[in-house]
Amino acid sequence: MTSPVDIEIISKELDEGLILLDLDANVMYANPKALSYFGERILSNPIYNFIRAPQLIDLINIEKKPKIFEYIHQGNTIQTYVITIIPLTEKATALKIADYSQREAFENVRKEFIANVSHELRSPLTSIIGFIETLQTQEVPKDKSNHFLKIMQDEANRMSRILDDLLSLSKLEINAYIKPVDEIDILENLNIVLSTMEIRLKEKRIEVKLNTESKNTFKYKIRGDFDEITQVFNNLIDNAIKYSPENKTISIDVSYKKNDNKLNTITISISNEGTGVSEEHLPRLTERFYRVDKDRSRTVGGTGLGLAIVKHIMYRHDGELFIESTPNKKTTFSINLPCIS
Ligand code: ATP
Ligand code: MG
């Protein structure tokens, strides 16, 4: 049989709660997850004091299959746990405890996501189908039919962009734990993205000021995925242009920080003027499909997936994303990345 010491080591890594009970159902051991559910006070006390479910006493003696209990937390928030009772020996029983409320919350996020995807794809599709029907059933003059075709093309492109972004997100989720290893030069990525934006910048008469602390590009090297880092700059600079009025300046500040106990970091801050984002929206900007003003974002071509992608890429690169905004003044998106030197 596995010794309690081994159980302790293994159970520390578990994502679920694990409790060991003696013959009288006193808690002999609880792993960190179980302690986070019920608190340190459960140790050496009877489990019935904390999981007040009348069936528990019988189940500890006879049952072996999963059973759902509703355990009323302090403060009366209802927390649902799935508790599996595992008899170990005649003198010891284990309880495996999974937080069902978290799964419910997860399930709700999933449902909301599917509803959002369906909605976002349905609007362009409805418009395309409408125009096809019109073109099939009515005599439409050439200039008008060309106009319809242009709208259909824009809507089809929009659907294609949404699907590309969703694929990027799912690829990032799958690879979340595989760290990218290529050596890349941040300034190279920045300049590539800026050159692809030249026409749009000219159209809006926006000037970009790139401020680097050092001419020594060696400092700006990181371990990363070239395409993903390019995608980050693409999203952030695209937003800065989209949400900036004409005739303004976008500032890009690149700086390097020496850290004592961890890797040195590079910070890239991209700032633009404009209406900005009020405080209550800031924490939600990186949620999928979240846009402060859906109509405005839609007219400038946004689907609300850009920052969700940036957040995932930062996670994969051990980086961070910070957002600061003073409405009607300045909005700054900063990323921190560990660098090679
Ligand atoms: P997408 O990037 O998918 O084409 P999007 O730009 O609308 O669409 P995100 O990049 O995720 O989506 O940004 C989410 C929202 O954050 C935007 O809709 C906008 O409301 C707000 N936002 C992002 N960047 C800025 C900015 N620089 N200034 C003001 N608001 C911004
Ligand atoms: Mg965007």
For the segment 140-144, the average pLDDT, to the nearest whole number, is 93
Ligand 2 center to residue 148 CA distance, Å? 27
Per-position DSSP letters for 175-186, written without gaps between them: TTTS---EEEEH
Bridge partners, residue 271, by sequence:
251, 332
pLDDT band with cut points at 50, 70 and 90 for residue 5:
low
Q: What was the pLDDT predicted at 328?
A: 93
CA distance 89 to 58: 16
Ligand 2 center to residue 181 CA distance, Å? 26
Beta strands (DSSP E) in 10-139 are: 17-21, 27-30, 67-72, 78-87, 93-99
Best of 285, 298, 330 for a ligand 1 pocket test (most atoms within 8 Å of beta carbon): 285
Per CATH, which fold does 177-341 belong to? Heat Shock Protein 90 (3.30.565)
Of the chain, the percentage scoring pLDDT greater than 70 comes to 91
For the chain, the average pLDDT equals: 88
- Nearest ligand 1 atom to the CA of 307 is 11
How many CB atoms are closer than 10 A to CB 120? 20
Query: Ligand 1: which residues within 6 Å by Cβ?
Result: 165, 235, 239-240, 243, 272, 274, 276-277, 285, 290-293, 297, 302-307, 331
- Asked if residue 337 lies in contact with residue 265, where contact means CB atoms within 8 angstroms, the answer is yes
pLDDT band with cut points at 50, 70 and 90 for residue 302:
confident
Alpha-carbon distances, residue 94 vs 9, 33, 72 (angstroms): 15, 14, 21
- Asked if residue 19 lies in contact with residue 97, where contact means CB atoms within 8 angstroms, the answer is yes
User: Which of 99, 127, 91 minimizes the C-alpha distance to 4?
Assistant: 91
Q: What was the pLDDT predicted at 204?
A: 97
pLDDT band with cut points at 50, 70 and 90 for residue 323:
very high
Per-position DSSP letters for 228-285, written without gaps between them: HHHHHHHHHHHHHHHTS-TT-EEEEEEEEE--SSS--EEEEEEEEESS---GGGGGGT
102-174 has CATH 1.10.3720.10 classification: no
Q: What was the pLDDT predicted at 69?
A: 63
Ligand 2 center to residue 4 CA distance, Å? 52
Ligand 2 center to residue 310 CA distance, Å? 9
How many CB atoms are closer than 10 A to CB 27? 22
Q: What was the pLDDT predicted at 66?
A: 59
- Asked if residue 127 lies in contact with residue 96, where contact means CB atoms within 8 angstroms, the answer is no
Q: pLDDT (tens digit, 9 = 90+) per residue, 144-157?
A: 999 999 999 999 99
Global pTM value = 0.75
Q: What was the pLDDT predicted at 220?
A: 87
Using the predicted structure, report yes or no on whether residue 326 has a pLDDT greater than 90.
yes
* Residues 83, 93, 86: CA angle, nearest 5 degrees: 50
Q: pLDDT (tens digit, 9 = 90+) per residue, 173-198?
A: 888 888 899 999 999 999 999 999 99
Of the chain, the percentage scoring pLDDT greater than 90 comes to 58
What does DSSP say about strands 249-257 and 67-72: parallel, antiparallel, or unpaired? unpaired
142-159: buried (b, 16+ CB within 10 Å) or exposed (e) per residue? eeeeeebeeebeebeebb
Bridge partners, residue 122, by sequence:
none
Using the predicted structure, report yes or no on whether residue 309 has a pLDDT greater than 90.
yes
131, two tokens? 């125009």
pLDDT band with cut points at 50, 70 and 90 for residue 261:
confident
Q: pLDDT (tens digit, 9 = 90+) per residue, 107-125?
A: 888 888 899 899 899 989 9
CA distance 2 to 55: 28
Architecture, CATH, for domain 4-99: 2-Layer Sandwich (3.30)
What is the residue type of 208? V
N- to C-terminal Cα distance for the chain?
49
Q: What was the pLDDT predicted at 151?
A: 95
- Asked if residue 78 lies in contact with residue 70, where contact means CB atoms within 8 angstroms, the answer is yes
Domain ranges in the chain are 4-99, 102-174, 177-341
User: Which of 44, 87, 49 minimizes the C-alpha distance to 71?
Assistant: 49
- Ligand nearest to the backbone CA of 294: 1
Residues that place a CB less than 5 A from ion ligand 2 = 239, 306
pLDDT band with cut points at 50, 70 and 90 for residue 98:
confident
